[in-house]
Structure 1
């Protein structure tokens, strides 16, 4: 690799997470959660945290551990909170979860997975009260899902995080500045309308706060987001970016909203997973987030939400839990981002004015 194209390097990734994303300080405890597939990044992160004077708390699972739990756990364990994990989360100042994409298991019962996600809600709430980051380590299945070779996928991941540049932190500063300009217009808006194939949906955002997501919580990032008014969504939307959620492949999701609530739902693939997710709890049929992707380094879908929701020219809506800092009051154990590509014939309107046409900001 040349100095101008450094490629994926777990050491650089670990330093970006420690110093930029989490801003770890001496004496802090940091929880690291992932599977053994991410061992090179875990080792680098463990060393880096120790070098910064922090205490790493590492929780490793084998790749199929969660799937096997959903399949074989007795009923009472599905509804258990996992007190040891809750205690760990409450004992740290920051945490990082590292995704390691693996093949979906068609034998899983989506309803069992949804039940356990609901039981883990206290852990999610405790994590949200501390500094946190969600990132990804490139795996062989991640490459397969993205229809890339593993070296190409590693290069893609590095590029999305700016790890292939001499100064990733400076590049995330550029993203922050770009998104700040978008927010100047978005913060004045009251009504958002999304138009596209199978889509005509209106939302209200007046009085809500927008967040400039610049890699501190998600790595990679590249989006601005808010929480729409809980009863404001009306119309229908087709989410055309396929994904993998909760161990299930899902595509062709069509939702109809009335006064904020999903009243009709279908999917061309993974409909059982979609319907189970909507039954998670009372807040699962409401929207917790409206996000607009702006990362020009991510141009093709990879069936991974962390990356695909950041694609420049897309919007995403999250079913379920909202972020309190946006003004959202929706509470749910579910937070599922569904993605709409606007780059071919789509429009995003603010108070009737075109803000984005065919994926390009106007």
Structure 2
């Protein structure tokens, strides 16, 4: 018997997140997830009058493919997948992971082929700007282990946070979007962190479950050459199968001029940041405030929504909040400002907006965890 929570999630993805209309072509891309989930999505898309298309992928198979990849081969795969994506109206990507480190031993030159010739043209250049899309994880024992939870408890958490009332959240986020739209200078402070930049004239996007589940963030981008100072991230991050901790970045006129990481990963960090020119500039700045996501679990679709956090993203800017930075990289790095993580402040121009993870101006207090839980 199909879990009723799966049917509820499929309904949210089809009717709310992507708003599938009759006749629309919908690509369902599934990585390491149960067939029942794919089947539920197919059924719901069909009920909405959409035309479902399906791709099943396995991370262990992709590992073998990447390790043996040639430039000609990856370029052709990217070309074919881009042509298919151009035919789609909607994309739903559900990504499970039986082993979060499955791709950690793939040589960097092979991953660079994938990033630049496959992922970037298919997703950054085609899927993101040209389709209605939503991306989410699927709960696995591996993810539960990352979160230091039992598999059953993590599944309960997952369905609670992914089926939050995001439609109501949109109204509560309007004042924050207004603040960001009229702000010029931003300053971020905290332990080993003092960073300043401008967001003047860059659009602000309120995220309430249309493109990601879970959701609960409001993002823009810094003016490309305006970032100065140092930030030392206090949440771990996984990129290309490698866990990075203690990443510290120093900026001068927008560019990352020094980058270090704990645990001997400084060389690999800099290899990624040297992928192309845009990888050393920032493409996104976002505030996270999902009241149910409180601890980092090494999964960015959850971690970037942590209550009392912000993330700062080397690489590609989104076209809807565009600062003109272009890169095959888009690496969200998370800093949590709640007291148990060391605290910190966010200033918009000369106004203190958030202190120690809580909004302090009156019209933003509804986004604090205890208030959001009442919504």
Q: TM-score, normalised by structure 2?
A: 0.89
Gaps of 5+ in 1: 1-6, 163-167
Q: Is it true that 1:29 corresponds to 2:29 in the alignment?
A: no
Partner of 2:46: 50
Q: Distance in 1 between matches of 2:358 and 2:52?
A: 42
Q: Which runs of 4+ in 1 moved over 3 A?
A: 74-81, 269-273
- Pick from 311, 323, 331: which aligns with 1:328? 323
Q: Is it true that 1:255 corresponds to 2:235 in the alignment?
A: no
Deviation at 1:79, TM superposition (A): 4.9
- Pick from 4, 10, 27: which aligns with 2:6? 10
- Pick from 287, 293, 296: which aligns with 1:298? 293
Q: Distance in 2 between matches of 1:199 and 1:117?
A: 30
Gaps of 5+ in 2: 361-375
- Pick from 116, 119, 125: which aligns with 1:118? 116
Q: Is it true that 1:127 corresponds to 2:124 in the alignment?
A: no
Contact persistence 1:38–1:100 (CA under 8 A): no
Partner of 2:332: 337
Deviation at 1:40, TM superposition (A): 2.6
Deviation at 1:349, TM superposition (A): 1.0
Q: Distance in 2 between matches of 1:321 and 1:76?
A: 24
The number of equivalent residue pairs is 349
Aligned runs of 1:133-212 on 2, under 5 Å? 133-162=134-163, 168=164, 171-212=165-206
The superposition leaves residues 264-303 of structure 1 with CA deviations (integer Å, 9 ceiling, x where unpaired) of 1111144344223212222111111000001111111111
- Pick from 292, 308, 321: which aligns with 1:313? 308
Deviates more, 1:29-38 or 1:217-226: 29-38
Partner of 1:165: none
Change (3 A) 1:38 1:229: farther
Contact persistence 1:196–1:342 (CA under 8 A): yes
Q: Is it true that 1:350 corresponds to 2:370 in the alignment?
A: no
Deviation at 1:212, TM superposition (A): 0.7
Aligned runs of 1:28-107 on 2, under 5 Å? 28-101=24-97, 102-105=99-102, 106-107=104-105
Contact persistence 1:241–1:341 (CA under 8 A): yes
Contact persistence 1:314–1:359 (CA under 8 A): yes
Q: Distance in 2 between matches of 1:272 and 1:139?
A: 31
Deviation at 1:44, TM superposition (A): 0.7
| Matched residue SS, 2:106 | coil
The superposition leaves residues 148-191 of structure 1 with CA deviations (integer Å, 9 ceiling, x where unpaired) of 111111111112112xxxxx5xx112211221122232222111
Q: Distance in 2 between matches of 1:18 and 1:117?
A: 28
Contact persistence 1:8–1:158 (CA under 8 A): no
Q: Distance in 2 between matches of 1:229 and 1:8?
A: 45
Deviation at 1:23, TM superposition (A): 0.3
Q: Once superposed, what is the RMSD of the aligned Cα atoms?
A: 1.7
Deviation at 1:238, TM superposition (A): 0.8
The superposition leaves residues 50-84 of structure 1 with CA deviations (integer Å, 9 ceiling, x where unpaired) of 12121111111123122222222235435555222
Deviation at 1:208, TM superposition (A): 1.4
